[in-house]
Amino acid sequence: MLRQSFTVSSLVLIILINSVFSSAFIASGDSFSTANPPVGELRRTDLPKGGKDKTEYAGPIVITSATLSADNKTHTAMFEGSVVAKSEDMTLYSDRMLVYYAERTGNVTRIDAEGRVKLIKKDLIVTSNEARYFAEEDKVVFTGEPRAVEKGNIVTGTKMTYLLKEDRSIVENSRVLLENKKVK
């Protein structure tokens, strides 16, 4: 079967990840393998023979959504309906999340999030209409009225690129509102 669809309120997937959102899917032939539906457990695959993985494993990520549709022919998984992706240090919310993964390894290569996107990481909250995560570059690009709030400071623009490992942002057409702190 090339495509399987799961419709369950709050479907939970546990994924072991490379970096923040990079993970490996266990796929067998043309079907998407899950452990006992409606809860599917997706595990990290072993390292290639004699090779080392260039990224560090940050731990598990839990993705919940109303529905999941996996398509092994196109190597994608579509999560829809109140999607929440939670890792050890970050949470990403959206209405829809399309996850692309590599054919051979199953590692996540890209995530497209649409509709009421919200990323929370420590004191940083970024909201937008759309976001795209690129695993290889370990960055998230926010578009559609992106807005970042951190410790009372607000940054807006037309496009916001957040480099996760560097904890650094690049904002196009920025507008910044800095909170003045009272000195005693």
pLDDT at position 15 is 36
Per-residue confidence (pLDDT) for residue 87, from 0 to 100: 83
Q: Are 79 and 92 in contact (CB under 8 A)?
A: no
Domain boundaries, the chain: 3-45+58-177
Q: Which class is domain 3-45+58-177?
A: mainly beta
Q: Left, alpha or beta for 152 (phi > 0: left; psi -120 to 50: alpha)? A: left
Average pLDDT by stretches of 10, the chain with 184 residues: 36 34 31 32 35 47 90 95 90 95 87 96 96 93 97 96 94 93 74
For residue 183, what pLDDT is reported? 75
d(CA 70, CA 72): 6
Q: What is the pLDDT of residue 143?
A: 98
* Helix residue ranges, H only, the chain: none
Looking up tokens 């390894």 gives 105
